[in-house]
Amino acid sequence: MVAELGLFALILALLLALAQGTLPLIGAARGDVALMAVGRSAAYGQLFFMALAYAALTYAFVTDDFSIAYVANHSNTLLPTQYKVSGVWGGHEGSLLLWVLILSFWSAAVATFSRSLPREVLARVLGVMGLIAIGFIGFTLFTSSPFERLLPAALEGRDLNPMLQDPGLIIHPPMLYMGYVGFSVAFAFAIAALIGGRLDAAWARWSRPWTAVAWAFLTIGIGLGSWWAYYVLGWGGWWFWDPVENASFMPWLMGTALLHSLAVTEKRGGFKNWTVMLAIMTFSLVLLAAFLVRSGVLTSVHAFAVDPDRGLYLLLFMAVVVAGSLTLFAWRAGKVGLGGGFGLVSRESALLTNNVLLAVSGAAVLLGTLYPLFLDAFGLGKISVGPPYFEAVFLPLMLPLLLLLGFGPRLRWKQDSPTEQLWRLRWIFVASLAFGMIWPLFVGNWSFLAGIGAFLGLWIIGSSLKDLVERLLPRAGSRQTLGTRAKRLGRSYVGMQFAHIGVALVVIGITFVLGYDDERDVRMAVGETVEVGGYGFRLDTLERVQGPNFVADQATVAVFRDGQRITTLQPQMREYFSQDQPMAHTSLHRGFFRDLYVNMGEPLPGNAWVMRVYYKPYMNWVWAGVILMGLGGFLAATDRRYRVRVRREEDLPDAVGDSSSKTSAAPV
Amino acid sequence: MKKRQKRLLLVAGGLAGVAVVAGLVLNAFRDNLVFFYTPSDIVAEIVPMERTFRIGGLVEDGSVHRAEDGVTVHFRVTDTAVAVPVVYHGILPNLFREGQGVVAVGSLEDGGVFRASQVMARHDETYMPPEAAEAIKRAQREQARTVGHADGGY
């Protein structure tokens, strides 16, 4: 019963999406207010029915309804309840349902928070969102319905993949999808602007907070995925340049470029075409990610069951979206006009450089990800492109970008003097270079990579803090209190600095962990001690333990440093009742300067196991940096100016020749 | 005139930058392609030495044994026609089994032993790494052809 209810709700959601995808667009073209108003109601209705469909599937999971094929394949009566709830997105069909639910959520959010938008613009944005929803709800209904019945019903479910039974995975997909699908809003705004032929600073201002929120979600989502891989897969790695990871990284790179390009469009009215192009590309890469993961062309933890229909549907959908939006772009973009000019050294040129570097990085990742697939698809051979390629390309591309990051945000719009800015930052530069080169010596032998990483990280943090302090210190003749000055900074500016400092932490973390991590695969018998990264690991006991839906071999490992006991780690090798595959469960001790990590391999004769022991310096700096970046994105999106209705067009620095350097100190 | 020169400089600089980057990317790309070979390819000696590549196939039954240290593992990968010895130091994936599909990344040592730096097995119960399947398919096609030739001789 509940499956039919869910399916029915899904069909109704599709019908509402059809209404939302057509009527408001027609209304906007004809100036018909009633038709335009359909968009908002349809968006709410679609969200309602999607939520109903989603709730129906969740109910089926919680009540162990194994007459539904999807539930029978991804759940089990013994599965703890929180994993039954998160098991809904543990497979292709359910995760797609979550994707669509989030899409309708974003539609409804636009309908709610964009009351200040002109009627036509809102109608077009919701119309485009509706069109996207038609594509995805149709995909769910016609190729991947999670409500298919299983006849006869299974007595017991096949259980959720044990790798997915983890708190990190409860939140990773929703966060990631919030990000992916969130970029559909930026895309819809861009397409709406192209249709309306009105691509101005107001458009950029409306679009910017949505982009920032989507970007923040995607950042956190990718970070969570990496965090999950780090401790669940038990390989001690956190980024493998796996095609699926790349699939999420490409929209992130483009989205980051978009975020920065929007700054120029909003503040200076420039880069309009480029911004629109980036919005289109970002969303296209999101669709590409969906295709890569869901078509079965890839094999990885994420790849779902292979079904050629799904791949074909997504490929066609992607083709329609990309071709359609690029045609529209070619047809309309000429009309939008150019922004103001700018000098060789200016905020604009810095952001342009940022964009070029990010776009090139994105293209390099695209090449490395798609080329093997193309060769394979055309039967030209099987090759793979490993991490060395991505590392070889990324390091030289990120180096100038990170150098610029400490410098660019301080540049004035339109024209600035490079010597003056560099002169002001000379001490920061010298200090960060000196400390950066010395810092690695506290961790181990000197490494060039760690030295560069520490220097760049300190350079970014130093110049960000200097900028913050300068803005907070009282100016001569000003009577503002510190509180007022802090308020005047604006959340947009503070968010930017958060995100940039987050980048710096990620850079330091990555270069240090790459330079100094220590991994040892060793035979450990009870009572034996091994030394890794200056820590002693002693295997004390081996025992058999019982969990809710598994039994496990558990090792108790005492960790020492300089004779002092630091912690006790208890890794397990679990055997889940429902599967014949054993699964290693890592035990971690996290710390500010290092993680210690023990993983069980295989039993050996003589009361011993093969164990994997890791020392991971500065690992938590990466996660902290990602969190800071995400927070920065959210903070920037809540800036006051996005909530204030733009009453007069003249308030916005639209066309050429606007008031020059007086506004230059304004935050990006 | 000055403005035009400046713009020209900007465009030229941009193009030069893009050219450098493109060169860098393509160079890194060429150097880091990891090709795939089957055990039959290795026996036929068409595989480059001193270069990282991938092999795929089945873990031969009864071929897995551990060295004294408990951490070094020797096994053989077969495409059902021929088998290649592989040595790996470290923990094997949870689903590494004799008779199951496997893909290994590494390089060939003197004496025809493949030293694996990474070993990948299926990640659930029903799935065969596509490259392992490919190796077996190719070997069987080859066998079918040679058998066909032999038949033709009679």
Q: What would the pLDDT profile of A491-532 be if each residue is shown by its tens digit?
A: 999 999 999 999 999 999 999 999 898 888 888 999 999 998
The second-level CATH assignment, the architecture, of B35-153 is Beta Barrel (2.40)
Q: Is residue A53 in some structural domain?
A: yes
Q: Could you tell me which chain A residue has the CA closest to the CA of B32? A: A389
How far does the CA of residue A225 sit from the closest CA of chain B (Å)?
17
Burial letters for A75-101: b for 16+ Cβ neighbours within 10 Å, e otherwise? bbebbeeebbebbbbbbbbbbbbbbbb
Residue A308: cis peptide before it, omega within 30 degrees of 0: no
* Helix orientation angle between A167-196 and A201-228, rounded to the nearest 10 degrees: 160
Cβ pair B29:A523 closer than 8 A: no
How far does the CA of residue B36 sit from the closest CA of chain A (Å)?
5
Looking at residue A665, its pLDDT comes to: 38
DSSP string, A508-557: HHHHHHHHH-EEEEEEEETT-EEEETTEEEEEEEEEEEE-SSEEEEEEEE
Of B10, B24, B91, the CB nearest to A393: B24
Cross-strand pairs, A523: A610
Q: How many whole angstroms separate alpha carbon A166 and alpha carbon A309?
A: 31
Q: What is the count of structural domains for chain A?
A: 2
**Mean pLDDT score, A269-295:** 91
Of A382, A583, A599, the CB nearest to B134: A382
List the single best residue of A371, A581, A604 to mutate versus B (max B Cβ within 10 A).
A581
Q: Is residue A603 in some structural domain?
A: yes
Looking at residue A654, its pLDDT comes to: 44
Q: Yes or no: say if A393 and A366 are a contact pair by the CB < 8 Å rule.
A: no
Q: Is residue A122 in some structural domain?
A: yes
How far does the CA of residue B152 sit from the closest CA of chain A (Å)?
29
Q: Is A385 on the interface with B (CB under 8 A)?
A: yes
Spatial CB neighbours of A364, under 8 Å, sequence gap ≥ 6: A390, A393, A394, A397, B25
Q: Is residue A81 in some structural domain?
A: yes
Pair of tokens at residue A284: 């296209």
Q: What would the pLDDT profile of B123-153 be if each residue is shown by its tens digit?
A: 555 556 677 777 878 888 877 776 655 444 3
Q: Is A374 on the interface with B (CB under 8 A)?
A: no
Lowest mean pLDDT among A373-382, A429-438, A474-483, A594-603: A474-483
Looking at residue A154, its pLDDT comes to: 87
User: Hey, is B114 helix, strand or coil?
Assistant: strand
Q: How many whole angstroms separate alpha carbon A294 and alpha carbon A292?
A: 6
Q: What is the 3-state secondary structure (H, E, C) of A344-361?
A: CCCHHHHHHHHHHHHHHH
Looking at residue A6, its pLDDT comes to: 96
Q: Is A369 on the interface with B (CB under 8 A)?
A: no
How far does the CA of residue A237 sit from the closest CA of chain B (Å)?
13
**Mean pLDDT score, A93-121:** 93
pLDDT for A30 beyond 90: yes
pLDDT band at residue A173 using 50, 70 and 90 as cut-offs: very high
**Mean pLDDT score, A559-582:** 87
Comparing CA positions, the residue from A257, A220, A264 lying closest to residue A634 is: A220
Q: Could you tell me which chain B residue has the CA closest to the CA of A161? A: B124
Our CA angle for A460, A258, A195, nearest 5°, is 160
Sign of CA dihedral A143, A148, A152, A155: positive
Lowest mean pLDDT among A194-203, A449-458, A565-574: A194-203
Cβ pair A371:B71 closer than 8 A: no
List the single best residue of A357, A383, A521, A578 to mutate versus B (max B Cβ within 10 A).
A521
Q: Is B89 on the interface with A (CB under 8 A)?
A: yes
Q: How many whole angstroms separate alpha carbon B116 and alpha carbon A602?
A: 18
Q: How many whole angstroms separate alpha carbon A618 and alpha carbon A622?
A: 7
3-state DSSP: chain A helix, strand, coil percent, rounded to 5? 65, 10, 25
Looking at residue B13, its pLDDT comes to: 81
What Å distances lie between residue A54 and A2, A7, A147, A508, CA to CA?
11, 10, 10, 41
Cβ pair A521:B29 closer than 8 A: no
Spatial CB neighbours of A438, under 8 Å, sequence gap ≥ 6: none
pLDDT band at residue A650 using 50, 70 and 90 as cut-offs: very low
pLDDT band at residue A334 using 50, 70 and 90 as cut-offs: low
Q: Yes or no: say if A382 and B131 are a contact pair by the CB < 8 Å rule.
A: yes
B125 contacts in chain A (CB < 8 Å): 579-581
Cross-strand pairs, B104: B55, B119
**Mean pLDDT score, A275-296:** 91
Q: Is B28 on the interface with A (CB under 8 A)?
A: yes
B33 contacts in chain A (CB < 8 Å): 383-385, 389
**Mean pLDDT score, A243-260:** 94
A399 contacts in chain B (CB < 8 Å): none
Pair of tokens at residue A134: 């038609």
Q: Is A581 on the interface with B (CB under 8 A)?
A: yes
List the single best residue of A160, A389, A607 to mutate versus B (max B Cβ within 10 A).
A389
B34 contacts in chain A (CB < 8 Å): 383-386
Q: Yes or no: say if A123 and A46 are a contact pair by the CB < 8 Å rule.
A: no
Cβ pair B6:A522 closer than 8 A: no
Q: What percent of chain A has pLDDT over 70?
A: 93
ipTM of the complex: 0.79
Q: What would the pLDDT profile of A302-331 be if each residue is shown by its tens digit?
A: 555 556 788 889 999 999 999 999 999 988
Cβ pair A581:B125 closer than 8 A: yes
Q: Please give the order of strands across the beta sheet that includes A594-604.
A: A518-525, A608-617, A594-604, A587-590
Q: Is A397 on the interface with B (CB under 8 A)?
A: yes
Among A109, A139, A165, residue at a domain's last position: A165
Mean pLDDT of chain A: 88
Q: How many whole angstroms separate alpha carbon A542 and alpha carbon A572?
A: 10
Q: Is A158 on the interface with B (CB under 8 A)?
A: no
Among A124, A150, A165, residue at a domain's last position: A165
Spatial CB neighbours of A399, under 8 Å, sequence gap ≥ 6: A452, A456
Q: What is the DSSP letter of A622?
A: H
Of B31, B70, B90, the CB nearest to A604: B70
List the single best residue of A161, A384, A520 to mutate versus B (max B Cβ within 10 A).
A384
List the single best residue of B18, B21, B64 to mutate versus A (max A Cβ within 10 A).
B21
Q: Yes or no: say if B50 and B70 are a contact pair by the CB < 8 Å rule.
A: no
The size of the A-B interface in CB pairs under 8 A is: 94
pLDDT band at residue A667 using 50, 70 and 90 as cut-offs: very low
Among A121, A141, A165, residue at a domain's last position: A165
Pair of tokens at residue A466: 């200097």
Q: Is residue A246 in some structural domain?
A: no
Q: How many whole angstroms separate alpha carbon A144 and alpha carbon A307?
A: 10
Q: What percent of chain A has pLDDT over 90?
A: 56
Could you give phi then psi for residue B145, rounded to 5 degrees? Answer: -65, -45
Q: What would the pLDDT profile of A206-226 be if each residue is shown by its tens digit?
A: 999 999 999 999 999 999 999
B127 contacts in chain A (CB < 8 Å): 299
Cβ pair A364:B10 closer than 8 A: no
Q: What would the pLDDT profile of A452-472 be if each residue is shown by its tens digit?
A: 999 999 999 999 999 999 888
Q: How many whole angstroms separate alpha carbon A655 and alpha carbon A195?
A: 20
Q: Could you tell me which chain A residue has the CA closest to the CA of B68? A: A523
Looking at residue A233, its pLDDT comes to: 75
Sign of CA dihedral A487, A490, A491, A497: negative
Q: What would the pLDDT profile of A588-618 be if each residue is shown by its tens digit?
A: 899 899 999 899 988 888 888 989 999 999 9
Give the structural domain span for A67.
Answer: 1-165
3-state DSSP: chain B helix, strand, coil percent, rounded to 5? 40, 30, 35
Comparing CA positions, the residue from B75, B83, B80 lying closest to residue B134 is: B80
Q: Yes or no: say if A5 and A46 are a contact pair by the CB < 8 Å rule.
A: no
Q: What would the pLDDT profile of B66-104 be if each residue is shown by its tens digit?
A: 887 778 999 999 988 889 999 998 888 877 888 888 888
Q: Is B48 on the interface with A (CB under 8 A)?
A: no
Q: What would the pLDDT profile of A348-361 be if each residue is shown by its tens digit?
A: 888 988 998 999 99
Which A positions 263-302 lie with beta carbon below 8 A of chain B?
299-301
Looking at residue A648, its pLDDT comes to: 45
Q: Is residue A319 in some structural domain?
A: no
Looking at residue A340, its pLDDT comes to: 64
How far does the CA of residue A521 sit from the closest CA of chain B (Å)?
5
Q: Is residue A133 in some structural domain?
A: yes
First and final C-alpha spacing in chain B: 86
Q: Could you tell me which chain B residue has the CA closest to the CA of A611? A: B91
Comparing CA positions, the residue from A633, A555, A542 lying closest to residue A183 is: A633
Q: Is B14 on the interface with A (CB under 8 A)?
A: yes
Looking at residue B154, its pLDDT comes to: 39
Quick one: residue A556, left, alpha or beta (phi over 0 = left, psi -120 to 50 = alpha)? Answer: beta
Q: How many whole angstroms separate alpha carbon A219 and alpha carbon A631?
A: 10
B18 contacts in chain A (CB < 8 Å): 356, 360
Mean pLDDT of chain B: 80
Q: Is residue A513 in some structural domain?
A: no
pLDDT band at residue B122 using 50, 70 and 90 as cut-offs: low
Cβ pair A581:B9 closer than 8 A: no
User: Hey, is A146 helix, strand or coil?
Assistant: coil
Cβ pair A384:B54 closer than 8 A: yes
Cross-strand pairs, A532: A535
User: Hey, is B46 helix, strand or coil?
Assistant: coil
